[in-house]
Amino acid sequence: MSHHTDENHLDGGFWRAVIVMGIISALGMWGVVVFPIENYLKEAAQQAADIDWLFRFMAFFSVPILVYVNGFIIYFVIRYRTRPSDSIQATGSPIHDHSALETWWTIIPAALMLALGLLSYKVLPEYYGAQAAAVTMEAIGHKWDFEFRYPGLAQSVYNDLYLPIDVPVTMDITSSEAQADDAVIHSFWVPEFRIKQDMVPGMVVPIHFTPNRLGTYRIICTEFCGIGHSRMWGSVHVVSQADFNTWFATQQKQSANGGPKVNVASGDAGAGQALFQQKCSVCHNAAPFDQRKVGPGLADLFDDPQHPALVDGKKADPADVAEILEKGYTGSMGSMPNMQANGISSTDIANLVAYLKTLHK
Amino acid sequence: MAVVEVSHATSEHIHPPPETFVQKYVFSFDHKVIAVQYFITTGLFFVLAGLLAELMRAQLAGPNNHVLSVTMYNQAYSVHGSAMVWLVIIPVLTGAFGNLIMPLQIGARDVAFPWLNMFSFWLFPPAGILLFGSFLLGAPEAGWTEYPPISLQEPAGTSMWCAAIFLVGVSSTITGLNFLVTIIKMRAPGMTWTRMPLFVWATAVTAFLSFIATANLSAALLALFIERTFNVPYYDPSRGGSPVVWQHVFWFYSHPAVYIMVLPAFGIISEIIPTFARRPIFGYKAIAYSSTAIGLMSFMVWAHHMFTSGLAQWVQLPFMILTMAIAVPTGVKIFSWVATLWAGKIRLASPLLFVLGFLSTFTFGGITGIFLASVPADIHEHATYFVVAHLHYVLFGGSIFGIFAGLYYWWPKMTGRMLDERLAKLHFWTMFVSFNATFLPMHWIGLFGMPRRVATYDPVYGGTNLFISISAFVLGASMLIFAYNALRSAKHGELAGPNPWGARTLEWMIPSPPPYYNFDRIPIVLAAPYDYGQPLPYRDVAPEYLAAVPRF
Amino acid sequence: MASHAVTLNDAQYEEQRDHRLLGFLFFLISDCIIFSSFIFTYLYLRSAAPVWPPPGVTPADLYMAGVNSIVLFGSGATMHFAMESFKHDKHLRFYWWMMATILLGSMFLGGQAIEYTNLIHENTLWTTSIYGSSFFSLTGLHGFHVFIGVCFLVVVLNQTLSGTYTKTRYFGLTAASLYWHFVDVIWVALFSILYVWR
């Protein structure tokens, strides 16, 4: 059996490998430092830069760990492979412990973890710490829409959130009323803000952020909430204070007028069909009542002897169908979102009614 | 009546060898037969759950695809996740590998309660039937976590899911206490705790986690089932219940379950590396004690799955710190394994290849785990494809690579025949490359805005998703190489002999496949098993097995 | 199956008893976790509720449950005396202590039945509120354990009378006694958090 000592193995070749891995690590770490996250995912709120910094910190120290673990595996497998000249019973070094080495590879990761813990702790209060917010508003998750309530605005805004730039926001996050028997958990995620909060029925969680970059960004639901989850998207528009004021004034005026009236006679069935495929077919089939998805099939809506009345008890005529499309309805069959939630206009409603009428033969 | 020859007072089982077919192969008490039963059933479930994954990838190959309906897609990923966790990884690592190897490695003739062992297996096929049968009544759609309140609103299939997982849970609990009693009480004379093979250490900790944590899951499933069936409020917010309770209770089980799924794989790794590096495992005690530390700490980190659920900040902090702390013993293990390769005489046979694949991918998965532990970063990453990527790096790159390493390693022991080495290497390289091609890009699209559990997505991710889907099909196809190799070995496989790899643990000191009573005489253990180059540390082992000469 | 015909020598019996004892303890630990899970659920729901008990709920009566608790703890004592008698070969005494334990256990179940009837009378059901769901699932789970325990005691008493257990081999009795004490200890926790803590 051959004699093994540390010196045999920690020779020039070993240190060369260590240096090569060091160079690769350094390149990788440099890449982490200069990587333009901003080019792929905008930083549009105050804490986004801090999160990205934290992310860089973690990636920075991950690179050498990955490089050295993989590098040593490859280097050892090549260097210490069994060669044809080796005896069949040849064995490797009998060394099975090295307390200094083991101490170091326990202490260094532990220290890194401690540092990371402290840094994370420093960033954390930006979400939850109480700040002097200029706007305190509510975000409410519905199947499958985001409702936003502004102070001073009678009606809610659906899916399109407008926020003035550089104004701290406190958003009370919750799901649709806990009393609704179809309430589920949603989650409010704005990737560009690096914020996410589950919308839990029965719980109100305030989060804090300050949008600091003009533009339109995505709102995405990240908690599975049913058949419409895949498309539960919204937008947040970060605009200047002046633009925000204009938008807000328009909204206030709309709520005063009660919105434009629907003229059900003027619909275009073709446009209605396209819209039905795009929006309504998530929950409704263009088939008889019993072929339910989330809601009933709508093919015989206007003439179904088994189901003469609509869900609100009224007789199925175009004006009442339009009313449900406009105002929504929550009852024994579940929830039908209103027109703001569905993102449809009065013309769209007329078109849909026209299309639904063509289904009935 | 067969008379059992007893050379030592301990560790013989008392039931006679079976005579009928049913006793031998169906309701067998023999831990080795039960292990093979687990291998076959989990293999079948692995194929089914894998096919579901391929269906999902077909749907996700492009945005707005209609390969599956949205409902079918939701059911597919829920059943895929549930089946992979509860019907594949947990039972194959404990039920199959634990049963096959652990009693042999401690020099026992069977587990402590052979009857319970059989019972525990037979809870498992009905669970599979219930879970896959749930498609008939409307399978669960809310993922393997089945968060209420949405799981309360789903059709009857979710109740079948509850029943299925409850059965698996009972099975897992029984197996856990059975194994722990076996390991505590039935080790061969001389096998002290620090002479135990590391796979046995890992199995002991896993067994402990199984019967502690799983009981808690059983209670939660019972509550969910009662609430769904009798309308009793625990989780329904409209009646005073709290959906967050389920999350706490579920993750109090499911975080330890992550270690139930990976500790035995750690054990497999710790067995294979010294065998093929031909030198002692580096840091035996560090690896054994870090398993124990990981096991205990795994009960204190569950809420890191709930950082966006609205926990108070003072709750989040300790969970974040403990989650980061648990990375330290895991790192110690990885460094020790790599150090075992140092100055070895490495034989790059297929089991070692899979181990090296494991080390590479699991290290990556572990590091992304730290990214998820940091609360502020997790707030951004939670419930995105970043998490999907992370968990597959841990459970596929970790557990499944470990499982295949173990299969290639112990196949000769189990069947008496070798697998073809060239096919094995082909399997490894296709699987390793396609695995990384499938899951690495998911980190990317997750960070930039793709949530998990969606049947369609923003078209900007279309190209990446197509690439992922193609890779996933290759990954699935790579399993065919293994299937062919396994079938081929039954007829054309070279006879293995007792110890083809020249390993030193006790299972290699008896014929392959092992005889009914495992050991003619219970051996006496004189030292830890990994001192390559030293004489074997056993007395009472038949002399022909003592000269361990590797064939590779 | 044929295995039952095997007669064990003393060393084998002791080994088997050791295994079973340890296995049984592990079982009790995991059973304890099941209770803990429901207890956690109860404590969480209770702490999250704005008022406790929820409006319109009449909580269970403390005094009746107190009397019932004394009955159950008494049965723990009689169980202890029964085991002592058995170990000292006093079979007649063992028989009467066991009968007393079974009787007290059954009385506890009877008391619980009366308590349930009263609550149902006042429309406190397990479906009506989170008080009901927690209360009935915890006490119901415990009551189920008491019921199993009483059956267990009847079986081992019967086995003792038919001579299954000897002075050195009585694992079944040990298990029954352990189980009974376990059920007692769980009740201490349940009684404190469900009745005493108002």
- Encode chain C in three state secondary structure: CHHHHCCCCHHHHHHHHHHHHHHHHHHHHHHHHHHHHHHHHHHHHHHHCCCCCCCCCCCCCHHHHHHHHHHHHHHHHHHHHHHHHHHCCCHHHHHHHHHHHHHHHHHHHHHHHHHHHHHHHCCCCCCCCHHHHHHHHHHHHHHHHHHHHHHHHHHHHHHHHCCCCCCCCCHHHHHHHHHHHHHHHHHHHHHHHHHHCC
Number of domains in chain C: 1
Q: Tell me the domain boundaries of chain A.
A: 7-81+97-123, 135-257, 264-359
Residue C102 in domain: yes
Whether the CB-CB separation of B139 and B75 falls below 8 Å is answered with yes
pLDDT score for A1: 40
The answer as to whether B10 is a domain residue is: no
Integer angstrom CA distances of residue C147 from B39, B445, C178, C190: 39, 56, 15, 17
Q: What is the mean pLDDT of residues A80-104?
A: 89
First to last CA, chain C: 54
- Which residue reads 């031998």 in tokens? B24
Judge whether residue C9 has pLDDT over 50.
Answer: yes
Q: Which of B449, B341, C114 is nearest to A189 (CA)?
A: B449
B17 within some domain: no
Domain annotation covers residue C11: no
* Residue B417 DSSP code: B
How many distinct structural domains can be found in chain B?
1
pLDDT in tens, C124-146: 889 889 999 999 999 999 999 99
Q: Mean pLDDT, to the nearest integer, of C162-188?
A: 93
Query: What is the per-residue pLDDT for B14?
Result: 53
Mark yes or no for CB contact A113/B549 under 8 Å.
no
Residue B522 has pLDDT above 70, yes or no: yes
Q: Do B240 and C54 touch (CB under 8 A)?
A: yes
Total Cβ atoms within 10 A of residue A90 = 17
Kindly give the pairing relationship between strand A135-142 and strand A169-175.
Answer: parallel
Q: Which domain holds residue B308?
A: 26-545
**pLDDT of A3 above 50:** no
Indicate whether A182 pLDDT > 80: no
> How do residues A299-340 score in pLDDT, each as one tens digit?
888 777 777 777 777 777 777 888 888 877 776 666 777 777
pLDDT tops 70 at residue B379: yes
Q: Provide ipTM, 2 decimals.
A: 0.92
Does residue B5 register a pLDDT over 70?
no
- Classify residue B459 as exposed, middle or buried by CB count within 10 Å of its CB (0-12, 13-18, 19+): exposed
CATH of the domain at C188: 1.20.120.80
Whether residue C2 is contained in a domain is answered as no
Inform me whether the pLDDT recorded for A295 exceeds 90.
no
Instruction: Name the CATH code of domain A135-257 (choices 3.40.640.10, 3.40.190.10, 1.10.3720.10, 2.60.40.420).
Output: 2.60.40.420
CB pairs under 8 A between A and B: 262
Tens of pLDDT, residues A259-288? 555 667 777 888 888 888 878 887 888 888
The more confident residue out of C7 and A218 is A218
- Look-up: residue for tokens 């639901």? A221
Structural domain contains residue C6: no
Contacts of A55 (CB under 8 A, 6+ apart): A37, B371, B377
B453-496 tens-digit pLDDT = 999 999 999 999 999 999 999 999 999 999 999 999 999 999 99
Give the neighbours of chain C: at least 3 Cβ pairs within 8 Å: B
Would you call A171 helix, strand, or coil by DSSP? strand
What superfamily in CATH does domain A264-359 come from? Cytochrome c-like domain (1.10.760.10)
Mean pLDDT of chain A: 86
Q: Could you tell me how many CB contacts below 8 A there are between chain B and chain C?
A: 116
Provide the CA A95 distance to its chain's centre, in angstroms. 51
Classify each residue of A309-336 as buried b or exposed e, where b means 16 or more C-beta atoms within 10 Å of its C-beta. ebbeeeebebebbbbbbbebbbeeebbb
pLDDT digits (tens, 9 = 90+) for C22-79: 999 999 999 999 999 999 999 999 998 888 888 888 888 899 999 999 999 999 999 9
- The full 3-state SS of B376-405, as one line of letters, equals HHHHHHCCEHHHHHHHHHHHHHHHHHHHHH
Question: Using CB atoms, which chains have 3+ pairs under 8 A with B?
Answer: A, C
Residue B412: the pLDDT is 96
* Mean pLDDT of all residues in A201-212: 90
Distance of alpha carbon B85 from alpha carbon B30, whole angstroms: 25
pLDDT on residue A154: 82
Of C26, C36, C133, the CB nearest to B234: C133
**In which band, very low, low, confident or very high, does the pLDDT at B158 lie, cut at 50, 70 and 90?**
very high
Q: Does B245 touch chain A (CB under 8 A)?
A: no
Beta carbons of A227 and B363 less than 8 Å apart:
no
Please report, for the domain that includes residue B66, its CATH number.
1.20.210.10
For residue C7, being part of any structural domain is answered with no
Is residue C9 one of the residues assigned to a domain? no
Lowest mean pLDDT among A142-146, A220-224, B119-123, B365-369: A142-146
* Residue partners of A290: CB distance under 8 A and separation at least 6: A296, A297
**Two tokens, residue B158:** 């979710």
Chain C residues with CB under 8 Å of a chain B CB are 1-3, 5-6, 8, 11-12, 15-16, 18-19, 22-23, 26-27, 29-31, 33-38, 40-41, 44-45, 48-49, 54, 126-127, 129-130, 132-134, 136-137
Substitution target in C21, C43, C133 with the highest count of B β-carbons within 10 Å is C133
pLDDT digits 0-9 by tens, B23-78: 888 999 999 999 999 999 999 999 999 999 999 999 999 998 999 999 999 999 99
How far is the C-alpha of B335 from the C-alpha of B333, rounded, in Å?
Answer: 6
Q: Which residues on chain C are in Cβ contact (under 8 Å) with B184?
A: 22
DSSP secondary-structure letter at B22?
I
